[in-house]
Amino acid sequence: MKVCHQCGGRWSASDWMCRTCGTRPLERDGIVYFAPDLAGGSGGDAVYQHEALFQAEQSHFWFRGREKLVIWTLQQHFPAPTKLLDVGCGRGSLLDGFHRTFRGVELAGAELLDSGLRFARRRLSDVELYQLDAMALPFDREFDVVTSCDVLEHVDDDGAAVRELFRSLVPGGGIIVTVPQHPWLWSATDTYSHHRRRYTRRELVSVIERAGFVVERVTSFVTTLLPIVLLSRMRQRRLDNGFDPTAELRISAVQNTLFGKLLDADLATIRLGASLPVGSSLLAVARRPGD
């Protein structure tokens, strides 16, 4: 059910007009705007290099490795979804992967910044895209699966954000969440990205369970590459004028291939049932209990 963000009434599925108060969200260039005042950012966001990120998402080992892991996790835990929402979809990289893998699934993407959504629209012509605030999702029991990858670290009240994910799911539906791990990895990259935190495993599980979810699986990833990540982060702990946010995107083809194979080794281990204990990122799968 789609819910009016103004009065809590129901939207008409055909024309996006609230049946109670008559509110209708702005629609422009194939994007439905629920929080247009925040479309340029809330003041607490990084100045993302969207073109560089858009290009990197095509082949960079980190983006490719995360996509493989999330898609495999979907296939294992939610093998037959009918409606899926990606909250914090950015430029639509994961949605593109879902679109190629899951035929017949109704996909939607949500993102605060319309600068990212415009790139997502370039990738995907037939996916619903919503500009909105993750703290006020206009959905109630709408989706079988909600993914939210590298989003929670950007919000002040991550508990409230997870409760919004919970409300958006049908009973029995589930979430896949990824976040950066280990506070001791904090560096200029986190500061530039306006991260509020890097998570411990216990912190992530706690915030998900407090929202009402039952956690089914948690694992670290980017494990084999952790020493290299640590060395990279140690070189620049503080943000200064010499920081280049695109530096880690510009690596040689040889490095990219090698690092990709190491991430594949992480995924192979996870596929065998292991929960990796350390890594620069965490993945959690959780389910909303059925009524």
CA 144 to chain centre: 16
Q: Is the pLDDT of residue 238 over 90?
A: no
Cα-based angle 201, 202, 204 (whole degrees, multiple of 5): 65
pTM of the model: 0.92
For residue 242, what are its two tokens?
A: 């010499």
Domain ranges of the chain: 26-287
Architecture category of domain 26-287 in CATH: 3-Layer(aba) Sandwich (3.40)
The alpha helices in the chain, defined as continuous H runs, are 50-56, 61-77, 93-101, 114-123, 158-168, 188-192, 201-210, 226-235, 253-271
* 20: confidence class by pLDDT, cuts 50, 70, 90: confident
Summary mean pLDDT of the chain: 90
Using CA atoms, how far residue 47 sits from 111, 172, 192, 197, 234, in Å, is 15, 37, 8, 18, 23
pLDDT at 42: 67
For residue 240, what are its two tokens?
A: 């200064």
Q: What share of the chain is helix, strand, coil (3-state, %, to 5)?
A: 40, 20, 40
Which position has the token pair 């990197």? 56
**Over pLDDT 70: what percentage of the chain?**
92
The candidate with the shortest Cα–Cα distance to 166, out of 177, 154, 174, is 174
* 226: confidence class by pLDDT, cuts 50, 70, 90: very high
